[in-house]
């Protein structure tokens, strides 16, 4: 990789600011894998340099063999040395891989906050378990994690295979219909990160992302408490109108807890206004973006299950206003 | 070995195809069939390459609108399916089909009509996929269509069926070719070519063929199960009805991983031949190379799970598959040592084929090493399904298999055409392709590490992936330009190249003993081999045998290990039946997309075609002494 090492260095620098990169670890699991990556990069880099050096030497040499038997003995020794060298290098990496694998599961025996995440074409249903009970608090497309604590994610799928990947925090694990996978996340740095579906899941695989916020435990608890509440009552007449239109046209698929809307096909929108993005990381949240999304979902995310429902301009405006107020 | 003109005339009369269309349709000449295979595969490589360029165009700008998601998903599915099933595997079999009889000093393959059947059925698969594309029923779920996404609930219509049946076509064609190659290498070697005196190229082709025979049934099984789920509502992959979606992945990769080596191992055969000839010395470590290929082939069947590390399988198994995957580094590394050692101790001549080998070594090793990284069950969780993996498999498949293939093309081109390719343009093409490839694909490692997943038709600008994608696109454009120079050079040299004579490079193996281009009958006499490098043992006086018929199609069958002459075997004459049989099988495969009854109804025409094909004739084998000629 000599020829490309400047490129790689630039890439590494660029990636360090990345909010979706295994090279900028912000959690224990990603840190373990990052160290394993650096070890593998070092071993493989050395091997590549040796191979290229040997190749160049062989080409420059042009077979000047005064002592043919001596040269052959040298080659035979070289063959053994190569074999032993490879076995050593591979052994280092296998042991490293094994230790990393153990580290990924180090928290498995401990109690942890449980979050159930279900993949849908093409969004994420996220449910937090209320400590020790069978009650779950539902949200979608935005995952909040307490810093310094272990969160246990239970992964499943409602339709096809997806893959849950927040590279700054941990490696990816597939979400498979008929199976339940478990992944422990122990973030160590606060901030916003991004996750994305890792397994091709159909037309809008590219727009199946989600936001991840790692925050201090106190902040997290406050956030979770807000999420557990019913939707806040609407204060103004435009909002009331929006709620009525929503109940009439959107509630077959979407739920807003505390109202009559209780559809389960699409994301729960009880606190949608507080989220950072719309349509699984497709567009940034704003009142205007909400209205645009309601008007033209197929233009923004072709193939999405969200239909374009013709609404009078005043109705669309009221629904967007209502949703933006659901914080 | 120069025979007298009367003998050559007699051989021509016996072996030459009829002129015109009928001869074209009925030929069983392994060289003509292999040339068709190669030309078809190269054309498809061009088409699938254009798709790749289109995708690179789309990705060069964030939020690009050049393509919508449907078109992009179709493009990568068609690109991957074509490159793997219709280009890489068939082109390697075609090289075997062309070269094996020549390297064995024999007149045709063991089953000449099966060669023809294999090509026609392959063509059926090609047409199925690409005519479907023209009709806008392009498969759109990638080159491995995991259920339940490919199941009846999530992929209505016939896109997934087209993909699954295309697999069936190519796998039957591949099985036919592989059985043929294995039988030819095992039973038709020239007297004296014991297994110990078999060139590495033949070992590579033999082992790749045996691997094909062992691995292809898994993919045929799994695509048939998928079709059953779709067509007659079985529930192999439906979890709600007790099926298991991971069964598909296990069976697919039980084929899919060996397939990578079915592509790579023939390439190691090309590399071995070219390194030997241009280092001007017998390969260093012949036995090590052969054992390494065997070891790779054996290991290849024990590491399919490394494609599935992220599905959450038991961890003890993951560690085993990590070890098995990394173990491949040992035989592969020893192979590379042997090639470099041959160059080190030889007197290297840097003609274009040898340049490709240098490009191969410098590029493939990167792919091998990134493979060692992805082989780690834990590290793979960050790498799989990202652009890192896209970079990795292009480095091993293009760097590891296509570069040797291009080298092999330049190396055997004079044998096939009787003309030399231009060295100057050959170097230009080499520089553009190798340089462009590395410029185009190295940045993808970094993109993967920056979090870019594979199979996304677009990405937000703020991800910071744009400029590396532009570098990648620029590199791909350069590589494609190089490809055009390469093809232009091959075409121009076909008509204008300098005559090459039978042995322009001073090659070591038997194919260089026959004229260039080889006549329909390849060799006038059966050569006798006494070393690994027969052409270097005073080539003007290769001992030959007479006694194989001149006035009827006949080949020599020898014993498996020691290549002792056993009997003379009638070799099949040209026939239209392979084409008819392939057409009947194609009709059944395509119709079975629409109705299960096609399988029953389709058996009748297939049975009729096979009856015609195998209509008994007298005198299949004859015996009689071989006479040594001096």
> Can you give the pLDDT at residue B619?
61
Shortest distance, CA A173 to any CA of chain B (angstroms): 5
State residue A62's pLDDT score.
72
Interface test with B, best of A42, A167, A204, A208 (most B CBs within 10 A): A167
Mutation site, B284, B332, B337, B436, interface A, largest A CB count within 10 A: B337
Write out the residue range of the structural domain in which residue A51 sits: 5-104
A242 in the same domain as A280 = yes
User: With contacts defined as CB-CB under 8 Å, which chain B residues touch A54?
Assistant: 340, 344
Question: In whole numbers, what is the pLDDT of chain B averaged over residues?
Answer: 94
Quote the Cα angle for B492-B494-B497, to 5°: 75
Indicate the pTM of the whole model: 0.95
Residue A231 placed within a domain: no
Let me know whether A189 and A265 are in one domain: no
The larger pLDDT score, comparing residue B2 to residue B163, is at: B163
Query: Which residues span the domain enclosing B447?
Result: 262-500
Looking at the predicted structure, is the pLDDT value of residue B539 above 60?
Answer: no
CA atoms of B367 and B389, how far apart (whole Å):
10
What pLDDT does B116 receive? 97
Closest to A94 (Cβ–Cβ): which among B140, B322, B385? B322
How far, in Å, CA of A103 to CA of A99, rounded? 6
Domain-located, residue B452 = yes
Q: What CA–CA distances, in Å, run from B528 to B199, B533, B541, B628?
A: 14, 12, 10, 9
Best of A176, A210, A299 to substitute, by most chain B Cβ atoms within 10 angstroms, is: A176
Q: Is residue A47 part of a domain?
A: yes
Choose the closest CB to A160 out of B68, B73, B154.
B154
Residues of B in contact with A192 (CB under 8 A): none
DSSP states of B172-201: HHHHHHHHHHHHHHHH-PPTT--GGG--HH
Instruction: Report how far residue A159's alpha carbon sits from residue A141's, in angstroms, rounded to the nearest whole number.
Output: 17
Q: Using the beta-carbon criterion (under 8 Å), do A63 and B146 form an inter-chain contact?
A: no
List, in sequence order, the alpha helices (H) in B188-314.
200-232, 245-279, 286-300
Residue A239, Cα to own-chain centre: how many angstroms? 34
Tell me the pLDDT tens digit for each residue of B233-269. 999 999 989 999 999 999 999 999 999 999 999 999 9
* pLDDT tens-digit series, residues B45-87: 999 999 999 999 999 999 999 999 999 999 999 999 999 999 9
Instruction: Classify residue B72 by burial, with Cβ atoms within 10 Å: 0-12, 13-18, 19+.
Output: buried
| Euclidean distance between CA atoms B531 and B198, whole angstroms | 9
Q: Which residues of B367-403 are buried (b: 16+ CB within 10 A; e: fewer)?
A: bbbbbbbbbbbbbbbbbbbbbbbbbbbbbbbbbbbbb
Query: What is the pLDDT at residue B628?
Result: 61
Q: Are A258 and A250 in contact (CB under 8 A)?
A: no
Does residue B78 contact residue B48 with C-beta atoms inside 8 Å? yes
Cis upstream peptide for A122 (omega within 30°) = yes
Sign of the four-CA dihedral B453, B459, B460, B465: positive
pLDDT given for residue A2 in this prediction: 44
Full DSSP string of B370-405 = HHHHHTSTTTHHHHTTBHHHHHHHHIIIIIIIIHHH
CA A247 to CA A260: how far, in whole Å? 7
**Is B355 within a domain?**
yes
CATH of the domain at B379: 1.20.210.10
Torsion of CA B135, B137, B143, B144, to 10 degrees: -160
State yes or no: pLDDT of B416 exceeds 80. Answer: yes
- Which residues from chain A sit within 8 angstroms of residue B376, using beta carbons? 36, 40, 93-94, 96-97, 100
Torsion angle, alpha carbons of A39, B399, B258, A202, to 10? 80
- Whether residue A264 lies inside any domain: the answer is yes
Q: Are strands A181-185 and A151-157 parallel, antiparallel or unpaired?
A: antiparallel
**What is the rounded distance in angstroms from the CA atom of residue A321 to the CA atom of residue B548?**
91
**Could you tell me the pLDDT band of residue B623, with boundaries at 50, 70 and 90?**
low
Q: CA separation (Å) from B423 to A259, A266, B69, B243, B412?
A: 78, 63, 43, 58, 14
A97, A165, A197 member nearest B379 (Cβ)? A97
CA B8 to chain centre: 33
Q: How many domains does chain B have?
A: 1
Contacts of A39 in chain B (CB under 8 A): none
Region of B392 please: left (phi>0), alpha (psi -120 to 50) or beta: alpha
Ramachandran angles phi, psi of B234, nearest 5°:
-70, 170
pLDDT at B10: 93
pLDDT of B146 > 50? The answer is yes
pLDDT at B530 over 70: yes
Distance from CA of A38 to the nearest CA of B (A): 10
Interchain contact, A47 vs B285, CB within 8 Å: no
Long-range contacts for A320-323 (Cβ within 8 Å, ≥24 apart)? Answer: A320/A242, A320/A287, A320/A288, A320/A290, A320/A291, A320/A294, A321/A238, A321/A239, A321/A242, A321/A287, A322/A234, A322/A238, A322/A239, A322/A241, A322/A242, A322/A243, A322/A245, A322/A246, A323/A242, A323/A246, A323/A269, A323/A272, A323/A273, A323/A290
CA gap B487, B18 in Å, rounded: 29
Cβ-based contacts of A97 with chain B (< 8 Å):
319, 322, 376-379
Of A14, A41, A198, the CB nearest to B385: A198
Q: Kindly state the tokens that stand for B417.
A: 């055409």
Chain B CB contacts of A156 under 8 Å are none
Which among B315, B451, B457 is the nearest to A20, CB-wise? B451
Bridge-based pairing of strands B621-622 and B627-629 is unpaired
Q: Peptide bond preceding B148: is omega within 30 degrees of 0, i.e. cis? A: yes
The pLDDT of B215-226, averaged and rounded, is 94
Cβ B199 vs Cβ B143: under 8 Å = no
Tell me, yes or no, whether A136 lies in a domain.
Answer: yes
So what's the ipTM on this one? Answer: 0.94
Do the domain assignments include residue B581?
Answer: no
Residues facing residue A284 across a β-bridge: A277
For residue B151, being part of any structural domain is answered with: no
Smallest CA–CA distance from B143 into chain A, residue: A200
Nearest CB to A58; choose among B70, B140, B343: B343
For residue B577, give every residue at least 6 positions away whose Cβ sits within 8 Å of its Cβ, in sequence order, or none.
B113, B609, B610, B612, B613
- Compute the radius of gyration of chain A from its Cα atoms: 26
Q: Do A18 and B451 touch (CB under 8 A)?
A: yes
How many residues are recorded in chain A? 327
* Chain B nearest C-alpha distance from A223 (Å): 26
CA distance B464 to chain A (A): 8
B372-395 per-position pLDDT tens digit: 999 999 999 999 999 999 999 999
Strand order in the sheet with A123-129: A136-140, A123-129, A113-120, A151-157, A181-185
pLDDT value of position B547? 81
Contact check, Cβ <8 Å, B451/A196:
yes
CB-based contact, B97 to chain A, within 8 Å: no
**B112: confidence class by pLDDT, cuts 50, 70, 90:** very high
Say yes or no to pLDDT of B335 above 90: yes
Give the residue from B498, B372, B474 showing the smallest Cα distance to B424: B498
B347, part of any domain: yes
> What's the rounded Cα separation, in Å, for the pair B261 and B360?
16
Answer whether B346 touches A (CB < 8 Å).
Answer: yes
Mean pLDDT of B520-549: 85
Where are the extended beta strands (E) located within B510-622? 526-527, 544-546, 554-558, 565-570, 621-622
3-state helix, strand, coil in chain B (%, to 5): 65, 5, 30
B347 contacts on A by Cβ (under 8 Å): 62-63
Q: Which residue has the tokens 């994690």?
A: A145
Q: What is the dihedral of CA B299, B305, B309, B312, to 10 degrees?
A: -140
Indicate whether A174 belongs to any domain: yes
Task: Tell whether B343 is within 8 A of chain A (Cβ).
Answer: yes
CA-based nearest residue in chain B for residue A302: B69
Q: Is position B491 within any domain?
A: yes
Query: Closest Cα partner for B98 from B31, B10, B187?
Result: B31
Q: Is the pLDDT of residue B538 over 90?
A: no
Q: Does the beta carbon of B324 lie under 8 angstroms from any beta carbon of chain A?
A: no
Q: Look at residue B459 and tell me whether its pLDDT is greater than 90.
A: yes
Cβ contacts (< 8 Å) between A198 and chain B: which residues? 310, 384-386, 453
Q: In this structure, is residue B222 part of a structural domain?
A: no
Instruction: Indicate which of B341, B361, B375 best probes the interface with A, i.e. most A CBs within 10 Å of its own CB.
Output: B341
Structurally, chain A folds into a number of domains equal to: 3
Q: Inter-chain contact A198–B310, Cβ cutoff 8 Å?
A: yes
Nearest to B337 among A18, A23, A78 (CB): A78
Is any Cβ of chain A less than 8 angstroms from the Cβ of B295? no
CATH number for position A278: 2.60.40.420
Q: Is the dihedral of CA B230, B236, B242, B248 positive or negative?
A: negative
Q: Which residues of A touch B148 (CB under 8 A)?
A: 159-161, 177
Q: What is the pLDDT of residue A235?
A: 84
B245, B322, B341 member nearest A75 (Cβ)? B341
Does A295 fall in a domain? yes
- Say what the pLDDT of residue A170 is: 97
B315 to chain A: closest CA residue: A101
Does residue B221 lie in a domain region?
no
Q: What residue ranges of chain A have pLDDT lower than 50?
A: 1-4, 6, 13-16
Residue of B nearest to A284 (CA): B460
Query: Looking at chain B, which residue has its C-alpha nearest residue A94?
Result: B323
A95 and A37 in a single domain? The answer is: yes
Contacts of A205 in chain B (CB under 8 A): 73, 453, 455-456
Name residues 355-394 of chain B within 8 A of A (Cβ).
358, 361-362, 365-366, 369-370, 372-373, 376-386
SS3 B234: coil
Whether A62 and B347 lie within 8 Å, measured CB to CB: yes
Confidence label for B627 from pLDDT (cuts 50, 70 and 90):
low
């Amino acid at each position: 990789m000599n020829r490309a090492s400047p490129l790689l260095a630039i890439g590494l620098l660029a990636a360090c600011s990345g909010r979706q990169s295994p090279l900028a670890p912000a959690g224990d699991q990603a840190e373990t894998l990052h160290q394993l990556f650096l070890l593998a990069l070092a071993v493989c880099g050395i091997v590549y340099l040796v191979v290229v050096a040997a190749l160049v030497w062989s080409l420059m040499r042009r077979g000047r063999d005064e002592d043919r038997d001596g040269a052959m003995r040298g080659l035979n020794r070289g063959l053994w040395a190569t074999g032993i060298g490879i076995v050593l290098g591979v052994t280092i990496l296998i042991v490293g891989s094994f230790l990393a694998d153990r580290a990924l599961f180090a928290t498995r025996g401990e109690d942890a906050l449980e979050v159930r995440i279900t993949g849908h074409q093409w969004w994420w249903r996220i449910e937090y378990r209320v400590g020790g009970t069978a009650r779950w608090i539902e949200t979608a497309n935005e995952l909040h994690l307490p810093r310094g604590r272990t969160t246990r994610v239970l992964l499943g799928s409602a339709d096809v295979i997806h893959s849950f990947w927040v590279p700054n925090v941990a490696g990816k694990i597939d979400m498979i219909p008929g199976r339940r996978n478990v992944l422990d996340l122990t973030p160590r740095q606060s901030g916003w990160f991004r996750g994305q579906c890792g397994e091709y899941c159909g037309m809008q695989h590219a727009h199946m992302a989600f936001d991840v916020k790692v925050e201090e435990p106190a902040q997290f608890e406050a956030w979770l408490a807000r999420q557990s509440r019913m939707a806040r009552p609407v204060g103004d007449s435009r909002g009331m109108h929006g709620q009525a239109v929503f109940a009439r046209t959107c509630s077959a698929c979407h739920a807003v807890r505390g109202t009559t809307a209780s559809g389960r096909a699409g994301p729960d929108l009880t606190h949608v206004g507080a989220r950072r993005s719309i349509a699984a990381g497709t567009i940034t949240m704003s009142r205007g973006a909400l209205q645009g999304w309601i008007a033209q979902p197929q233009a923004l995310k072709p193939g999405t299950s969200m239909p374009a429902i013709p609404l009078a301009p005043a109705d669309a405006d009221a629904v967007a206003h209502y949703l933006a107020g659901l914080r | 070995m120069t025979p007298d003109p009367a003998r050559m005339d007699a051989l021509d009369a016996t072996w030459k195809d009829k002129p015109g269309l009928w001869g074209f349709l009925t030929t069983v000449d392994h060289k003509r069939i292999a040339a068709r295979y190669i030309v078809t595969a190269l054309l498809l490589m061009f088409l699938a390459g254009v798709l790749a360029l289109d995708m690179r165009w789309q990705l060069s700008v964030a939020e690009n609108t050049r393509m919508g998601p449907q078109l992009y998903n179709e493009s990568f599915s068609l690109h991957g399916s074509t490159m793997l099933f219709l280009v890489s595997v068939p082109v390697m079999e075609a090289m075997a089909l062309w070269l094996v009889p020549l390297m064995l000093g024999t007149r045709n393959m063991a089953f000449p009509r099966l060669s023809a059947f294999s090509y026609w059925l392959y063509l059926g698969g090609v047409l199925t996929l690409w005519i479907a594309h023209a009709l806008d029923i392009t498969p759109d779920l990638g080159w491995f269509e995991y259920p339940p996404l490919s199941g009846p609930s999530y992929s209505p219509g016939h896109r997934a069926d087209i993909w699954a049946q295309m697999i069936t076509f190519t796998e039957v064609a591949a099985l036919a070719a592989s059985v043929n190659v294995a039988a030819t290498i095992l039973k038709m070697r020239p007297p004296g070519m014991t297994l110990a005196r078999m060139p590495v190229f033949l070992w590579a082709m033999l082992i790749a063929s045996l691997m094909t025979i062992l691995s292809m049934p898994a993919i045929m099984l799994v695509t048939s199960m998928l079709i059953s789920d779709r067509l007659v509502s079985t529930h192999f992959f439906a979890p709600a009805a007790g099926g298991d979606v991971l069964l598909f992945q296990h069976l697919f990769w039980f084929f899919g991983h060996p397939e990578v080596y079915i592509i790579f191992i023939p390439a190691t055969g090309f590399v071995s031949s070219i390194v030997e000839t241009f280092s001007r010395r017998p390969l260093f470590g012949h036995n090590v190379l052969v054992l390494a290929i065997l070891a790779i082939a054996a290991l290849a069947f024990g590491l399919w799970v490394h494609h599935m590390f992220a599905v959450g399988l038991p961890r003890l198994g993951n560690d085993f598959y990590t070890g098995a995957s990394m173990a491949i580094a040992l035989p592969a590394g020893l192979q590379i040592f042997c090639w470099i050692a041959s160059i080190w101790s030889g007197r290297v001549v840097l003609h274009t084929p040898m340049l490709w080998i240098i490009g191969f070594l410098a590029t493939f090793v990167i792919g091998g090493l990134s493979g060692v990284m992805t082989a780690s069950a834990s590290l793979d969780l960050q790498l799989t399904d990202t652009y890192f993996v896209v970079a990795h498999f292009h480095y091993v498949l293009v760097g590891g298999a296509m570069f040797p293939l291009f080298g092999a093309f330049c190396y055997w081109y004079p044998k096939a055409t009787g003309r030399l390719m231009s060295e100057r343009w050959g170097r230009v093409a080499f520089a553009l392709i190798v340089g462009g490839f590395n410029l185009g694909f190295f940045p993808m490692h970094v993109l993967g590490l920056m979090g870019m997943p594979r199979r996304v038709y677009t990405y937000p600008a703020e991800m910071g992936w744009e400029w590396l994608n532009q570098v990648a696109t620029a590199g791909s454009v350069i590589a494609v330009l190089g490809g055009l120079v390469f093809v232009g050079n091959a075409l121009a040299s076909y008509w204008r190249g300098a005559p090459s004579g039978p042995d322009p490079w001073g090659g070591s193996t038997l194919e260089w003993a026959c004229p260039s281009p080889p006549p329909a009958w390849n060799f006038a006499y059966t050569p006798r081999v006494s070393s690994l490098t027969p052409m270097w043992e005073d080539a003007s006086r290769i001992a030959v045998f007479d006694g194989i018929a001149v006035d009827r199609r006949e080949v020599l069958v020898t014993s498996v290990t020691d290549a002792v002459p056993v009997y003379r075997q009638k070799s099949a004459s040209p026939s239209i039946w392979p084409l008819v049989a392939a057409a009947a099988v194609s009709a059944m495969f395509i119709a079975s997309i629409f109705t299960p009854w096609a399988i029953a109804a389709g058996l009748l025409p297939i049975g009729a075609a096979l009856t015609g094909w195998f209509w008994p004739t007298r005198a299949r084998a004859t015996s009689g002494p071989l006479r040594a000629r001096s």
